[in-house]
Structure formats: structure tokens, C-alpha cells
Structure 1
Amino acid sequence: MQDSLVAKKVAYLILSHFDKSYRWFTRITRGAQERFEQGQWQETLHASKERITIYEQSLSDAVAEIYHLIAVHKKDEQFWQALKKAFAIHLEGHPQFELAETFYNSVIGRLFKHRKIENAMMFVLPSRCFLPGQDRHKVVHSFDTTTTVNEMYTSIFKIYRYNIPFEDYQRDMANLEAALRQRLTTEQLASVHTVEILKPTFFRGKAAYLIGKICMPEESLPFVISLQRSDKRMLFVDALLTDRKDLSVIFGFARSYFMADTQHPAEVAAFLQELLPNKKHFELYMALGHYKHGKTVFYRNFLEHMSSTTDKFEAAPGIRGLVMMVFHLPSYGVVFKIIKDEFAESKKITRDHVKECYKLVKMSDRVGRMADTHEYVNFRFPLNRIDPALIEELKATCASSLTFTEDELIINHLYIERKMTPLNLYLQQETDEDKIKNALNELGLCIKQIAMANIFPGDMLHKNFGITRHGRVIFYDYDEICLMHERNFRDIPKSDDPYALDTLSVAPNDVFPEQFEHFIVGKRKLKDILKALHGDLMTSEYWREVQRKCAKGDVQHFTPYNANVRFTR
């Protein structure tokens, strides 16, 4: 009986810490509108970092209190099963029950160092089936479309109000009306019966989005109003987006998490899933900033995929990395990355340094150019699904990270990342000249935008970049990144002495951009295209100018959708 009471007390304690954590998360998220209105862009970056740290802080507090209350390792399996049942009872009617389950899992994971991943003790499977729609009215505004288009927009902006004036309200309403009439045929426009918009505004960086859909009898289309703030502290409508491709890019895996204030995240994620059916559910939770729950949903999705497929894990295609061993399941859209036991002679870094680099990217504005990575501890793979050649390669390169049981391989630390085509393979295989030029232009833009986000990419070999199905180039190798001020960009001295370079004094943090052309891409033809498009990357002055902007605290905004849909101002 005593253990039963203690289990109830611990369950309440865990939920209390979760609720406190979510209130903290909400407070930061709610402040996004004021930061946007005031143009507080540095504060926006700090808020994003703080919100990411909340989870670990709340988790540590909960675990410390549990250790103070009970002798954890003296409790038997019955106690932990009773604890889970008591916690599940608390979740009845809880508006964030799914996030609370993940928090509970994290507590148990921390207590047992992630060695007890089983449904009897944790919510490996959800406690109940969520049926979207029950609380839909709490997260969606519906707008009448029986009036004129202009009147509909007027009613929208009576609800979505901001504490800064429009730069030119009439112009923006005319742009929005013209865009909608241009995108829809007369028949489609006449058949629209509702426009639904999620109640929270989605803030990220220097932009804000109203995200909804146009409902017609036979189909629905995204309906996204993109807002920005001018330097003169005025609001303007930048675009109306009705293409799923544009919306997909906005919710891309290489972008920072949105600030969207809601008490019903499951309903919001379900609505977004309707708009973006090709996105995985875990990606949508991550986009909302619930990256820990996204990891839970990913793991459930992974288990489901494993049960419905038979292919085997194998080494990922491409050139082997010097720091990471990368493998994949051909039928699944992610790669698994393990830090190697030993690095090549050229890599003067440590294992802890690599972890810090990945953490830096997590905390930074990824500006749509750096893939989000998710860290896992004691991740389990069935041995009969791993190609023997991969097992041998893992043993040869990552033995300290591996534990073998009779039927499983347990990897004690790994990163999971969205799968892309390595850029070097793409450029080898592609024959379309326009696509090659676009990829190289994207490569240059990727490097520049990362730099403007205050990150020096370090190792810029094109094998360290991937290209998405939308043709967007993304950076994914972080072991040599650093902040921009940590490098000294120098010119190679001009001299008639052929031996001058031999005596050149070079410090560890010196970088010579003139040499970039020799290693970013290999073939002369590709080098020439890259230089023609982005020759400034090969000059130290370009990099020093970026350093100056970063030092001033300038925060850049890179519009995530196609420039040709932006309204003229």
C-alpha cells in the first residue's frame, strides 16, 4: 500500500514539473509577438535558445526531486508499472497529454540511463488514441466566404491584430485580393465555403505567418499570409502562399522552430498535417518547438516502419566521413550518424568538441541551410536487420559506442538527420546544365547564409552538403564549425619570391579564402561556375565584411519561399 501511495506522489510530482515547464515554454512563446512588433531581433535569437534549454532544466529538477523522495534503484518493476498507471490517470483531459508522456519518458530514461525502454515502464506507445477534431474549435478561426473577398480579408485582420500600424493597409488588401483571384479559377473561388486559419500567429526570425486553408467541396489549398515588419516599425503583407511546396519549405527541417502559442499542440499538429500530408508527424511537432516530443513520435514511427519493411541497414552512399560513420535504411528517410572512435590525422578535434558543434547548430538560427539533428542515447536496432558488412564497419570505426546483445545492437550515442542526396554524388550524376548551375548557385548561397547567421562552416567540401528534392542545398557536417569571430580571414601575401609561402606564418585560426576554390568543388568546370556565381566567397574582404556585420549584431532574414510570389511594395 505504501508503494502505491508513493507512486501516486511521484506521478503528481512529474506532472507538476511538466506543467511548470510548459508554462515557461508558453511565456517565452507568447513574447514572440512583442519582439516582432518591436523589432527585437537579437532578443528573438536569445528567446529561441532559452526555450530549447527549458526542457533539460525542468527534467533535471524533476529527477533531482525524485531522488530526494525515493531510493530509485531499490524500487521493483511493480512500482514503476504502478507509477506509469498513476501518471496515465493524471493525463485524462490534459490538453498537452502527449507532451507530458514524453516528459515522463525522459524522466524514466534519465533515472535508468535509457536502458529500460519498454512499454511496461514508459509510454513507448501513446496512452490513448488521439482523435483530431475534438478541440479543433479551440485552435482554428473560421471565416465567412459568402461576402466579398475584400470583406473576408477585413474580417481576418479584425481578429489578427498587431501593435504596429500597417505600412499601407489598402495596398496590402488589394495585393491579397488580386493574388487570391489569380491563384483560383472563377469556379474555384465561387465554390469556397470556408477559410480556416490557426489561431496562433507563427513567428520565426523577422517574419510572422497566418497559416490556414481554403476549403472547397472537392479540395482544400494552403492559405498562408506572410507578414513582415519594416525598418520604420510598420507591418506589411509580403506574400500570399497557396502552394504546398512553398509551405513545405517554410516548415523545412533546416529551419529554426516556430513560436506559435497554443495550449492544444496535438490539434495544431493535426491541422498542419492536413495541409502538409507528406510531412512526417514528428517533423510538425519539431517545427512547433516540441523537439523532444518530436523525437518520441519519430521513434514510434521508426518502430512502425520497421514492422512493415524487410530491408537492411547499410552504410550510407557517398564518401566516408573522417569524423562520423553514417548509415541508413534504404526505405526510410533519415540517416544515423555515430562519432568515430578515432579521427584522421587532419582532424585536430575531440569527441566532446564534435558534440559541442552539434549543440551550437541546435541553438543557432539555421536559416534554412543547416539540417536539424536529433541526439539519441542507447538506440536499439535488431541485429537481423543490419547488413553484416555494416556491422563489421561499425566495429572497426565506432566500437566504443556499440553494445551487442543476443538479438540487438545498442548504440549508446547517435544523431539522426533527414536523408538528402550528397551534393558531390548529385553533381557526378546530373547531366542537365541548368540543374548543375542551380545546385552550385545554391551551394554558394548556402555558405553565405550560414555565415550571415554567424556560423563559419569550416570544412566546405561539397561532400558535406546535401541537396533536397526541391533543389535546395543544405549543410550537414558540423565538426569544424565555429562562430565567425573565431577565425582570422587573411590574404595570401603577394610576392615574386617562389619560396615566400614556405615561410608564411600561419596561426591555427587563420583562413585564406583565396584557397577555397581549390577544394569546395573538384572539377575545373564546376569551379569556374561557382567562381562566376559566387566569386566573392574566395576573397578575404567578403568574409571580413560578414564578420563586421555579425559583430554589430545584425540579424539577417532570408525569405523561405520563392521571390516571385512576394508582393511589390
Structure 2
Amino acid sequence: MADKAQAKKMAYQIMTSFDKNYRWFSRVTRGAQERFEKGQWQQALAASKERISLYEQSLATAVAELYDFIMDHRQDREFWEQLKKAFAELIESHPQYELAETFYNSVIGKVFRHKSIDNTIMFVSSSRCFLAGQDKHKVIHSFDTTTTVMEMYESIFACYRFNIGFEDRPRDMQQLDDALRERLSKEELASVTAVEMLKPVFYRGKAAYLVGRICMPERTVPFVIALHTNENRQIYVDALLTERQDLSVIFGFARSYFMADTQFPGELVAFLHELLPNKKQFELFIALGHYKHGKTAFYRNFLEHMDNSDDQFEIAPGIRGLVMMVFHLPSYGVVFKIIKDEFAESKKITREHVIDRYKLVKMSDRVGRMADTHEYVNFRFPLSRICPALLEELQDTCASSVELTNDELIIKHLYIEKKLTPLNLYLQQETDPDKLHNAIDELGTCIKQIAMANIFPGDMLHKNFGITKHGRVIFYDYDEICWMDERNFRSIPKSDDPYALDTLSVAPSDVFPEQFEHFIVGKRPFKEMLKSLHGDLMTPEYWRDAQKEVSQGTIHNFTPYPGSRRFKRPEHSGQ
């Protein structure tokens, strides 16, 4: 008979470890306001890295502290069932019970080396159904809508207080007033029943966002106020965002995680999901920095989708990668990426190097231009849903990562990433000249913004980029990325000798930007378009200047909404 007292004791210890982890997470998150007010952008980057790292640190400490329990009961299945039951009772009224379940799963996964996924000893399914709205009052402020628009804004900024002043508060209030009146008719304004704002301020990069909605009888409208600071450490309102598309990009998968302090993450996500119904809840948990729970929520969503679909997994469209094998389920919005057993001869890298590059991106500011990836071990697929051609290629190229049972395909190590249209396919299929022009412009902008985030993309073939439904170009091939200071950008020597290049001494870190035009895009019209829009990318001077900027600690702010949304400010304000 399993020892219930021991199970309860261990459950309590796991919960204590989780609570300690969440306090640490919250402490880092709360510091975002001071970093924003003081313009401590390097510290903000460091805090983001710290917060990503702390989960694994907390998990390792928790498992070490439970070592004696684990050794005593490793083979006692009844004990682990009792443990799950005891833990479920402990978190029944816990404000972060969803995240606590994930932490528990992580502990059990470490104990059993992720060999099985079993709902009798893990929370494969959640312990209870989340009832959105029962704690809504704990995460929102409601503002009086019987007053004037200007008075409503005054109430909002009386509620959200900062320790620094405004650059020009009357100007900002007037621009906010004018913007809302432009977007809503008098009749719509008169029909507003509520203005609800999430209590936490959402900090990321050099911006802060007040996030909420305007409620009317027939519809709700996103209501997001974007705040920046100037070089004199004064706040100004940069934009009022009321379009769901703008909000969707702000919460996009290619951006760093928000710092938004709350004790009720489930309620926060439920509110955001109402604003952004096309986003999955796991995407919103990830956007808030709860990427481990996002993985749990993704897996639950994946299992639900599998139960409600019957298509087969197949090789992803596009040119085969030299390092990664990529497949997808056509009806589902992600791709699965596996490191191949062997790389093409041109790839002078190791498996460990590739894993390290993906970690580097995870810890970096992705500035809206690099897709977030999520790492899984022993991910299970029904063998009946794997098409024969995919299974053959997996066994041929990734045999060391593949295990087969009678009814399952187990991938020992893989990455999951948002599905995008490969840019090379998009350029082949799209016929609208404006959209093609935008895609090429976006490609150049993407490369530049990644460089300004201190990352050299390495392999910049257009097949390594994807394009979103909003026409935004995202980079997703990381095996050759490195820090900007790890490359020496050189000019090609000028010589009348046609064989001069053959005798040129080239170090592994040397890069010749003048050659970029020959391989980033293939077709001549696209080459010419890229050169006309972003010709500076093909000069070593551009890259050396970018190196110099990042070496000086310059942090750029890339607003995730169109420039047309930004309010005008006088030049002397330092915009």
C-alpha cells in the first residue's frame, strides 16, 4: 500500500518549489516598470534572459531536493498516482494552478526521463476546467463611460501611474481623444457600455502597453495605448491601437515575451483570448513568458486537434533543408523540425552547435523577425497518421532521433515552430506586383533588424525565410547564426586579374557582402528589386556600421505596428 503521508509530503514540497519559482518570475517581471522609466534597456535584455533561464534552474533544484523520495518510490506506480491526487488537492484553489500543473509535469518528466506521457501520474489533461471570468475583477479596471472621452482618458492615467512625468500630457490626451473620435462614430461612442483595461502594464523592449477593450452592444473593440520614453526620461503616448490585426502582431510569435505582472495568469489569458480569438491560448501564455506552460497547453490543443482531424503528417512544402528535416500536418498551424543525423558537406557544424544556436535565439530579442521555437523530447505521433514517404525519409535522415512501436512514432528530440509560407514558394506563386514588392522590401528589412539585434543571420537564402498572412517576413533557419562581432565584413579586392579571387586568403569568419546579391534571391527581377530597396546590405560598410552600433550597446526599438498609427511629435522631442 502506497504511503499517502509520504505522497502528501512530496506534493507539498513540489508546490513549495513552484511557488518559489513563481515569486522569482514575478520579481523579475515587476522590475520592468523601473527599467522602462530609467531607460535601462540593456538591463531589460538581461532580465528577459534571466526569466527564461529560471524555470530550468528551479526545476533542477526541486528534483534535487526530492532525490530521496524519488529513489524510494521510483518503481512504485501506486505512489505516483497518489502523488498526483495529493498535488491536485493542494492546487484546487491556487491562483496559478495551470502553471503549477506544468511544473509538476516537469518534475515527473525529469524523474521518468520523459519516457511516457501518462495521465494517471501526470496532468496530461488539466485537473479541472477553467471557468473564465470568475476572477475577472482581479485582473481588470473598469472606467466610467458616462463622462466625456477626455475625462475617461484622465481617469485611465490617474490609475496607471509612473514615477516619471510626461513629455507633453495635454498634447497626448488631445491626440488620444481625436484618435478615438476618428475611429468611432458619435453613435458608437454613445453606445459604449464599458471600457475595461487589464491591470498589469505590458512591458517589452522600449515600449509599455495599456491593454484593454471598448465594449458596445454589438461588438468589442481592442483599446491599446502604446507608451514610449524620450531621451530625457519622459513618457509620451506613441499610438492608440484599435485594430485586431495590430494587436495580433504585437502578441506575435516572433517577438520577445512580455513582462506583465499578475497573480492570475489564466484570467489574463482568457481576457486576451476574447480580444484575439484567432490566437490559441497556448500562444498567449507563451507571449506572457510562461513558455513552459505554453508547451503544455500546446500539447493539449494538439491532442484535441488529432481527435478532430484525420489528415496525415507529411513532408513540409519547400526546399529540403541541409540540417533539419521538416514535416507538418496540413490541417494544423505548426511545423515539426528534427536535426538530421548527417549534414551536407558544406555544413561544417555539429548537432550540438545547432542546439546551441536555437538556444541563442530563444534567449535573444527576436525583434519580431525570428520565429520562436519550442523544444520537446519523446514527442509521440500515431503511426497510422504518418504518410509512408515521411516515415521513409525520417528513417533515412533522422534514424537516431526516431523510435517506432507497434502504433506510435516517437521523436526523441524535435522543435515545434509556427507554420509560415516559405518565401521562395511565395515569390513563385504570388502575382500581385505590390505584394511581391512588399515581400522583397520586408526581406531586406528583416535582415537589417536582425543585424541591429546583434545577430548575423548567416545563411540568408530566401528559402530560410517565411511570410505571414499579414505580409511580414520572418527568419527561421538558425544553424549558421552568430553574434555580429564574430564576423569580419570585408570588401572584395579590386583587381584586373580574373584569377585574383582564387588566390584571396579567406578566414572562416570572413564575409563578403558584395556577394550577397548573388544568392539571397535567385530571379533577376527580385535581385534588382532588393538592390534598389536595400542595396546597402551588399556593402561591407553597412555591416561594419551595424557592428559598431551594437558594440556600443545601442538598443533599437522596432514598433510592432505601422508607422501610420504613430502620433506626430515635434522634432525637438527627439523622436
Tell me the TM-score normalised to structure 1 length. Answer: 0.99
Would you say the 8 A contact 1:381–1:409 is kept in 2? yes
Shift of 1:500: 1.2
Alignment of 1:336-375 (within 5 A): 336-375=336-375
Residue 323 (str. 1) matches residue 318 (str. 2): no
Partner of 2:431: 431
Q: Give the match for residue 230 of structure 1.
A: 230
Matches within 5 A, 1:479-498: 479-498=479-498
**Counterpart for residue 573 of structure 2:** none
Residue 66 of structure 1 deviates from its aligned partner by 1.1
Residues in 2 aligned to 1:533 and 1:71: alpha-carbon distance in whole angstroms: 63
Rounded Cα–Cα distance in structure 2 between residues aligned with 1:72 and 1:224? 53
Does the Cα contact within 8 Å between 2:467 and 2:474 map onto a contact in 1? yes
- Asked if residue 210 in structure 1 is aligned to residue 210 in structure 2, the reply is yes
Cα separation, 2, equivalents of 1:544 and 1:112: 49
Matched with 1:519 is 519
| TM-aligned CA distance change 1:72 to 1:467, over 3 Å | farther
Give the alignment of 1:30-179 within 5 angstroms: 30-71=30-71, 74-179=74-179
Is the CA contact 1:492–1:512 (under 8 Å) kept in the aligned structure 2?
yes
Aligned residue number for residue 406 of structure 1? 406
Tell me, in whole angstroms, the C-alpha distance in 2 between the residues paired with 1:530 and 1:31: 42
Provide the rounded CA distance (Å) in 2 between the counterparts of 1:92 and 1:389.
Answer: 46
Q: How many angstroms does 1:70 deviate by?
A: 3.8
State the alpha-carbon separation in 1 of the partners of residues 72 and 137 from structure 2. Answer: 43
Report Cα offsets for 1:303-351 as digits up to 9, x if no partner: 0000000000000000000000000000000000000000000000000
For 2:548, the aligned partner's letter is R
What count of residue pairs does the alignment treat as equivalent? 569
Cα distance between partner residues in 2 of 1:465 and 1:424: 8
TM-aligned CA deviation for residue 2 of structure 1: 6.7
What CA RMSD, in Å, does the superposition of the two structures yield over aligned residues? Answer: 0.8
The CA distance in 2 between the partners of 1:321 and 1:458, in whole Å, is 15
Counterpart in 1 of 2:199?
Answer: 199
User: By how many angstroms is 1:72 displaced?
Assistant: 5.3
Cross-structure match for 1:6: 6
* Structure 2 SS opposite 1:412: strand
In 2, Cα distance between equivalents of 1:225 and 1:458: 37
SS class of match (2:66): helix
What is the letter of the counterpart of residue 287 of structure 1? A
For 1:274, the aligned partner's letter is E
Residue 115 (structure 1) shift: 1.0
Shift of 1:68: 3.2
SS of the counterpart of 1:537?
Answer: helix
Task: Report deviation, 1:76.
Answer: 1.3
Deviation of 1:3 (Å):
1.9
Give the direction of change, closer, same or farther, for the CA distance of 1:2–1:426 in structure 2 (3 Å limit): closer
Question: Structure 1 residues 280 and 70 mapped into 2: Cα distance closer, same or farther (>3 Å)?
Answer: closer
1:282 equivalenced with 2:282 (yes/no): yes
- Runs of 4+ in structure 1 deviating by more than 2 angstroms, as ranges, are 72-75
Secondary structure of the residue that 2:398 maps to in structure 1? Answer: helix
Task: For residue 369 of structure 1, give the secondary structure of its aligned residue in structure 2.
Answer: coil
Decide whether the 8 Å contact of 2:334 with 2:418 is kept in 1: yes
**Aligned equivalent of 1:451:** 451
Report how far residue 73 of structure 1 moved. 5.9
CA distance in 2, matches of 1:221, 1:114: 43
> Relative to 1, partners in 2 of residues 1:70 and 1:331: Cα closer, same or farther, differing over 3 Å?
closer
> 1:483: Cα distance to partner?
0.4
Residue 538 of structure 2: aligned partner = 538
Give the percent of matched residue pairs that are identical in Structure 1 and Structure 2. Answer: 74
Decide whether the 8 Å contact of 1:72 with 1:111 is kept in 2. no
Q: Which residue of 1 aligns with 2:506?
A: 506
Q: Deviations over 1:53-97 (max 9, x none)?
A: 010000000111111344156431100000000000100110000
Structure 1: gaps (5+ residues) = none
SS at match of 2:279: coil
Tell me the amino acid that sits aligned with residue 52 of structure 1: I
* Match of residue 563 from structure 1: 563
SS of aligned partner of 1:353: helix
Amino acid at match of 1:5: A
